[in-house]
Chain A
Amino acid sequence: MNAAGQLRGKRALVTGGRQGIGRGIVEAFLAEGAEVLACGRGGRGDLPAACTWHQTDVADAAAVEALAVATGPLDVLVNNAGVQLEKTVADSSDDDWDLVMGVNARGVFNTCRAFIPRMRKPASIINIGSISGRMADPRMALYNASKAFVHGLTRSIAVDHGPDIRCNAICPGWIETGMLEAAFELAADPGRARQDALARHPVRRFGQPADIAAMAVWLASDAAAFATGQMFTVDGGLTAASPLRPGLS
């Protein structure tokens, strides 16, 4: 059944909307009838013409405030922009901290602070957290911590700004994006690491941006009117499973 039109009449902003999961959310929101705005640090690339693009770095508070003034009221805010860095705490520099926490943590804070007072009621904020905010991915210390920040902020916004605003986080598992490929490249044998990771997924595949976008559509829609303050994990069963999987070599 095609339920297109679930977001008709809603106005949504997706940060980091040019590629990866953000791009999947932009396309799904458009398909469901929403008016979609997106932003990112660079140009719009090949985004559909129906999507309005703003060149904005969410880590820059003044730029985000200017964006909020420019865009006007929203029904839906999706905080998707994020960066990933493969380092332990001992290897991380001050610049690494500024980059990862600036985008993943402060960026979410910046947009929420700027848009919350200007959102239509009722509104929905959807943050992209991560399974890595619940359990640690090795050598991703700042990234893991930044996602835990997102989870904490999600609960706070839900508590402080209900009933006008609902706020939830989606915790994706391993989604086939450039970020996932970068993670495999860290392995001594990327091909084997990929096979191993696949075997750990009960659904026997990695996620696609559309898998996360489907959850975002629901959280943005009025069908999710009672959902707030929660972390919704969409990971193909990865974190439900122990390290023992049949078929691992």
Chain B
Amino acid sequence: MSAGALAGRVALVTGGRGGIGRAVCARLAREGATVYAADLDECGAPDDAPRPLTLDVTDEDSVRAAIDAVSERRLDILVNAAGIEIEKTAEDTSLEEWNRSFAVNVTGTFLASKHALPLMRAAVAARAGAGGGTASIVNFGSYDGFIADPGLAAYCATKGAVHALTRAMACDHGPEGIRVNAVCPGYIDTPMLQSFFNGEGSGGAGRGIGALRQAVRNIHPMRSYGTPEDVAGLVNWLAGDEARYASGQLWVLDGGLTAQVQQMRP
């Protein structure tokens, strides 16, 4: 196997077992990176060869332990893909659910980034003699951080927070050679999306999931849902050297969905 664009790089992916996180792990590994796939349970598809880590991103000790387990003592790439979605309006959301949403989506992104920084500086330093290079944090925002899906109040709020944290950390850590970006997926075909379509808030109950899936597909200018691999492609680009000047931005990947004024297509 020839050396990929990310050969010699070390990456850690939180939520590495989830629909999109798993695809990210596979892609980064295929590009030659050493990939730590971190999630609540040990994970890892055999053909992708990521190194499994047990990680609860809401628990600071767990985050410290996961970072300590990176034996290379450097991190070139951190992907904060861990996330949960509570399918409720603000009124129906309990304080516990609200706090849980923020704990995973926002605090988890904060904790993993905070404790990864020393190893990311080490990665920048390690490459200083070889023409230089940057380290890259890729957060998971969402198109829901820009416009609201019905019945996803806490989720929308957490993604807005991730967007703001992305910009803040890009400003603070850019001078150290650390880039921070967020990918903002639209409708990606994952178990999370399926759950959303099955829920009451989506309006699927009244007309059938199949009809709803078809209607939402057709409203996209590209007439399709995204795949986890589509998102992994963008994450791969942001992680690598071709994106050396990209930082502090929110990268929307949604098949053109948010480019249009929403309406039925006659």
Contacts and interface: CB of A to CB of B under 8 A. Distances in A.
Interface of A: 131-132, 135-138, 186-189, 192-193, 196-197, 200, 238-249
B263 A138 contact: yes
Interface in B34-92: none
B5 interface: no
B150 A196 contact: no
Contacts of A240: 147-148
Nearest to B205: A246
B265 A138 contact: yes
B3 interface: no
Given A135-B259, A137-B260, A246-B203, A189 B147 contact: no
B261 A241 contact: no
Given A135-B260, A136-B259, A138-B260, A242 B266 contact: no
A131 B148 CA distance: 17
Interface residues of B, number: 25
Nearest to A192: B264
B261 A186 contact: no
Nearest to B197: A244
B128 interface: no
A196 B258 CA distance: 18
5 contacts: A135-B259, A136-B261, A242-B148, A242-B262, A244-B202
Interface of B: 143-144, 147-151, 201-203, 206-207, 215-216, 219, 257-266
Nearest to B211: A249
B261 A243 contact: no
A188 B150 CA distance: 27
Nearest to A195: B264
A148 to B, nearest CB: 12
A244 B263 contact: no
Contacts of A243: 216, 219, 257, 262
Contact of B215 (A189, A238, A247, A248): A248
A240 B144 CA distance: 10
Contacts of B258: 135
Contacts of B264: 187, 192-193, 196-197
A249 B207 contact: yes
A242 B261 contact: no
Interface pairs A-B: 7 shortest CB-CB = A187-B266, A196-B264, A246-B203, A242-B149, A188-B266, A243-B219, A243-B262
B263 A197 contact: yes
Contacts of B261: 131-132, 135-137, 238-239
A243 B219 CA distance: 7
A243 B187 CA distance: 11
Contacts of B151: 246
A207 to B, nearest CB: 14
Given A243-B216, A243-B257, A249-B207, A200 B263 contact: yes
A249 B55 CA distance: 42
Contact of B262 (A187, A238, A247): A238
A200 B265 CA distance: 13
B213 to A, nearest CB: 11
A217 B264 CA distance: 33
A241 B219 CA distance: 14
Contacts of A239: 147, 261-262
A146 to B, nearest CB: 15
B85 to A, nearest CB: 13
A240 B143 CA distance: 11
Q: Which of B201, B258, B262, B265 has the most CB of A within 10 A?
A: B262
A84 to B, nearest CB: 13
Given A135-B260, A242-B148, A193 B266 contact: yes
Contacts of A193: 263-264, 266
A145 to B, nearest CB: 13
Q: Which of B151, B216, B261, B265 has the most CB of A within 10 A?
A: B261
Given A135-B258, A241-B150, A244-B203, 5 more contacts: A132-B261, A186-B266, A242-B150, A244-B202, A246-B151
